[in-house]
Structure 1
Amino acid sequence: MSTANDTGFTPTGTIATTKDRRRVVFATVVGTTVEWYDFFIYALAAGLVFGQLFFAPAGEEFAQILSFLTVGISFLFRPLGAFLAGHLGDRYGRRLVLMITLILMGAATTLVGLLPTYAAIGIAAPILLILLRILQGISAGGEWGGAVLMAVEHAPSKRRGVFGASPQIGVPLGLLLASGVMALMAVIAPGDAFLEWGWRVPFLLSFVLILIGYYIRRRVDESPVFVELAERKEQTKMPIVQLFRKHALLVLIAAFVFAGNNAVGYMTTGGFIQRYATDPAGPVGLATADVLWAVTLSAVSWLVFTALGGWLADKIGRRTTYIIGWILLLVGVFALFPLVNTRSIAMLTLGLIILTVGLGLTYGPQAALYTELFPASIRFSGVSISYAIGAILGGAFAPTIAQALVQNTGGTAAVTWYLAGMVVLGLIATLLLRDRSGIPLGPDHEAEQAQSPIYGLSKA
């Protein structure tokens, strides 16, 4: 029978007490919820007000494309955040990185809420807006990997899917909170008031949420895998160099797994559906508050199916859960716009909920899948960089691409085929990977972890 070490964890990485388990899960969920609330608030505002407030001189249609481009620009800086966080996380620990990313994201978000518009300070306004979005991108690039490893490396081997779903749940919770707060402000400050000041309140609220998240994260111990690496002085000096020298192809395949999910998810988290469905000159023309409430409801559904995806990943394996999820996501993609284009808020809500079934099943298992792909000494770098590259290939410019396709074709059919293509790429990438559910995660098993999980390759 294994005994707990002086950190309170067993050498196999299981948590010594139920209280510790709950603390890790709670801190992971709260921290990632706050982080993604900040990230999504920007995307929602980009779809609803930033085109008018910061890019109006470009003309109505091009201003909206520029607004969505600022959402995508942040993704280009996610790899920088992933590189920095990967190096720090593999050298100095997961917990330190999570504290830094939380503060950086909160500061950038709060400052957006205080930013003067183009009418007040001219070209400096969009420049400052883009710089703050870049800071959000750097933070997001480092946040996810740390949250995932804190959750999964603390978990019992047979429950990694469930534990790994906790940072994943933070994403729909962040969307739920962001959409809910924005919808509330659309009711409290409708019309011109929303443009003048109502949109700023959700950004300023970030300051309070960051304080809460920081307090909770401080109370969580370091990952037991990193503690063991540190005690043995086995941290890799240049983890990123080792990652790309030995695992470059694996990073790319893992990135495409996420890209398929992320491109579809950013139809709502990137603000495209909100803009498309509320545009008074467009084919749908629904009320802003109604659409935001529909997105909020779909976030609840996304949360449920994300949790279910993590649970299923422990029962039937990561790979099988993903395959089922990709098939259901393809169904959701083809159902989405026919339902949205009925101009019925009930049908729009139904379309978004159907979409979340596949989104959840291809997102819930991701934390466990990614963690089990990479060796312990370079795991933070592998997980973070794969995620960041996947975000660029998937969601970075998905709203911009969708907006351009609608404006150039006059309909949404091209958007559907674009999203379907991304889903198929995600499915192919998943089929290329072996399921490594339950593989030991500690430094004693680096040789086993370094064996390539890609079909047809026996060594990393």
Structure 2
Amino acid sequence: MTTSRRPRRVALAGLIGTTIEWYDFFIYGTAAALVFAPQFFPSVSPVAGTLAALSTFAIGFVARPVGGAVMGHFGDRLGRRRMLVASLLIMGVGTLLIGLLPTYAVIGAAAPILLVLLRFVQGIGVGGEWGGATLLALEHAPPRRRTLYSALPQVGLPLGVVLASLVFLAVRLVVDDATFAAWAWRIPFLLSALLVAFGLVLRLRLDESPEFERVRSAGVHRAPLAEVLRTPRVLLPAAGLNILISGFANVLLVFTLAYVAARQLVGAQTMLAITVVTALVWAGALPLAAVWAERIGRRPVILVGVVGLTAWAFPYFWLLDTGTTAGALVACVVAGAGFGIGTGAYGAYIAEAFPAPVRYSGSSVAYAIGSVAGGALAPIVATVLFAQTGTGVGISAYVVGLGLVSLVATLALRSPHAEVPDPLPAASVEPREATA
């Protein structure tokens, strides 16, 4: 394979792999909103059951910093490709076992406990996925196309949402509600095994990152995460950058299903179809935003996304509350476009905020912390606010608050490490043959 084709192959493999990982991650969110409360938490009220189910969804986000730290450590010492293979295996096994998990009616309290443990396993897997896929694409890319190439793995998130929504929609259309609740909800989880096998074949054929090879020849850090933690002026704004989009996206992808159902605004199948359209718009806007960022700069494009989404928080729920399909479609599609604009340059901007020897650890942990502070809490906070007020006003105000955090973080973050840094001082590194 020619050198010019290799970066495209790596970026495409990253896109496919992250699509599979996010499919696995988001089928859980859809199931949590639609079916997990009665299947795994039947002894509590409907609201409490929904909160419990969404709390298990949040566990996956809580596990992501752990996965990011562990896989970031080994990714900075042993290589990006190995950790990408490991993350896909971990995610695939966890998802398959959820599809096979007995419900509360069969094994009692063990069912929700095992569900939480398996969700934690999913979070470990995806915690190492984002950083590795982004870095492998970024570090293989031609110098002037690093933003675009690193954006392609980001497209895997909305495409994973599309795939998850389409599979759930197909199952819902084929079976009745009772059959879906009884066993058919397991089908999307079991299908994951085939997708993971395909993704593993692709990843095992990839070459290691050229930048990592140069870093390894110069010497790797003994403790890359410790180095990252010693630079809070980089880590904290890098984490804050992701809070708004992660939070708003999970309000849309997870909470909105329950919101429109509770208020009888839009049917479940219609909402799933709208989610598919939204994710497709998100996926289309993302590489376009990356190309735009290559022309005018990464930070200005990210700021457009952050400001636009913050301003959309109130119109989003106003349009949902019209109870019309058109209103829900406009609300979600505009938000999806904002997600794409806000994340088109995000991967390169976060990754290059950290020098290459600690880049996997830094970018993975920063991304995961932002996801916990935003995405993990957002569906739970939204459910509580809705239960107390019966409207989306409080939720909109909450999203605006997340937007202000991300706005400050975007303005504060500097991302200067586009090139491989000079070799590290001898006291900070170990020779190539050292192991973790």
Shorter-chain TM band: over 0.9
Alignment equivalent of 1:349, drawn from 312, 323, 329: 329
- Cα separation, 1, equivalents of 2:222 and 2:84: 20
Give 1:276's aligned amino acid: Y
Question: Could you tell me the TM-score, scaled by structure 2's length?
Answer: 0.95
User: Could you tell me how far apart the structure 1 residues matched to 2:184 and 2:143 are?
Assistant: 47
Q: Percent identity?
A: 39
Do residues 275 (structure 1) and 267 (structure 2) align?
no
Which residue in the other structure is 2:350 paired with? 370
Aligned residue for 1:386?
366
Partner of 1:313: 293
Give the whole-Å Cα distance in 1 for the aligned partners of 2:413 and 2:213. 29
- 1:256 maps to 2:240: yes
Tell me what 1:237 maps to: 222
Of 330-339 and 154-163, more deviation after overlay is shown by 330-339
- For residues 262-292 of structure 1, the C-alpha deviation after alignment (integer angstroms, 9 at most, x for no partner) is 11111133x11111112xxx22343211111
Question: Shift of the alpha carbon at 1:114?
Answer: 0.8
- 1:3 maps to which residue? none
Please say if residues 319 and 435 of structure 1, whose CA atoms lie closer than 8 Å, have aligned partners that are also in contact. no
Q: Answer with 28-37 or 191-200: which moved more.
A: 191-200
Deviation, 1:414, is 0.1
Instruction: Tell whether the 8 Å contact from 1:153 to 1:441 is kept in structure 2 after alignment.
Output: no
> Could you tell me how far 1:393 is from its partner in structure 2?
0.9
- Tell me which of 441, 445, 450 is aligned to 2:419: 441
> How do residues 19-168 of structure 1 correspond to structure 2 at under 5 angstroms?
19-168=5-154
Q: How far is 1:19 from its partner?
A: 2.1
Q: Is the 8 A contact 1:109 1:132 kept in 2?
A: yes
Post-superposition CA distance 1:323-367 (Å, at most 9, x none): 111122123222211111111122111110011121111111111
Q: Distance in 1 between matches of 2:294 and 2:250?
A: 27
User: Which residue is 1:12 aligned to?
Assistant: none
8 A Cα contact 1:71 1:396, kept in partner:
yes
Query: Any stretches of 5+ residues in structure 2 without a counterpart?
Result: 426-436
CA shift for structure 1 position 435: 5.5
Larger mean Cα displacement after TM superposition, 79-88 or 29-38 = 79-88
Question: Which stretch shifts more, 304-313 or 392-401?
Answer: 304-313
Give CA deviations for 1:368-408 in whole Å, capped at 9, x if unaligned: 10111011111111101101111111111110100000001
The 8 Å contact of residues 71 and 397 in structure 1, kept in 2 or not, is answered as no
Which structure carries more helix by proportion? 2
Q: Distance between the aligned counterparts of 1:154 and 1:59, measured in 2?
A: 52
Match of 2:397 in 1: 417
Instruction: Measure how far apart 1:428 and its partner are.
Output: 1.1
TM-score, reference length from structure 1: 0.90
CA deviation digits over 1:81-133, x for unaligned, max 9?
Answer: 11111110010000000000000101100111111111111111111111000
Aligned equivalents of 1:441, 1:170: Cα separation in 2: 26
* RMSD, aligned α-carbons: 1.4
**Counterpart Cα distance in 2 of 1:403 and 1:321:** 31
Alpha-carbon distance in structure 1 between the residues aligned to 2:202 and 2:250 = 28
Counterpart of 1:228 (choices 191, 214, 218) is: 214
Which amino acid is the alignment partner of residue 199 of structure 1? Answer: W
**More displaced stretch, 329-338 vs 370-379:** 329-338
Contact 2:95 2:189 in 1 (8 A): yes
Question: What's the offset of the Cα at 1:193?
Answer: 1.0
Cα pair 1:302 1:359 within 8 Å, conserved: yes
- 1:22 maps to a residue whose letter is R
Distance 1:257 1:433 in 2: 8
Alpha carbons of structure 1 residues 309 and 248: separation in structure 2 relative to 1, 3 Å? same
Q: CA separation in 2, counterparts of 1:202 and 1:298?
A: 20
Which stretch of the first structure deviates more once superposed, 133-142 or 236-245?
Answer: 236-245
| Contact 1:317–1:435 (CA under 8 A) maintained in structure 2 | no
